[in-house]
Amino acid sequence: MSYQILVAVDSMFKSISECSELVEFSLNGKLVQVPKGTNVAAAVLLESAVCRTTVVSNTARGPFCMMGVCFDCLVSIDGLANQQGCQTLVEPGMEVIVQRGAVEAERVDDYG
């Protein structure tokens, strides 16, 4: 099985929040700070826009609807796979990992 290489690029998404309180969490092992109240999908958009790759073709997917309908925002959160990033607020110390292809529904230990 081959995997598409996900290259982090500068996101074209910018936060419009003037919130002074930041929350720090881990995204693919990198510490990231976002305004308090940001959901995981928005935080991913600010950083890379890729949440997962598809099971069949490993095509990169990113948050689309931001309201819990499309499931293109699935990520692993604190070791639990297939979590909807748009339905989860970032919490301090949270570990978010991009999912690649098919993942175990129980637990994801790494993303490499």
- The contact set with ligand FES (CB under 6 A) reads 41, 63-66, 68-73, 84, 86
As measured in angstroms, the least distance from the Cβ of 1 to ligand FES is 26
Going through the chain in order, the beta strands assigned E by DSSP cover 22-27, 30-35, 52-53, 60-61, 74-77, 80-84, 95-98
Q: Using CA of residue 104, residue 82, residue 41, residue 20, what is the dihedral sign?
A: negative
- Residue 39 and residue 90 in contact, taking contact as beta carbons nearer than 8 Å: yes
As measured in angstroms, the least distance from the Cβ of 56 to ligand FES is 19
Element spanning 45, H or E: helix 40-47
User: CB-wise, 32 or 44, nearer to ligand FES?
Assistant: 44
User: CB-wise, 13 or 71, nearer to ligand FES?
Assistant: 71
As measured in angstroms, the least distance from the Cβ of 105 to ligand FES is 17
User: CB-wise, 23 or 73, nearer to ligand FES?
Assistant: 73
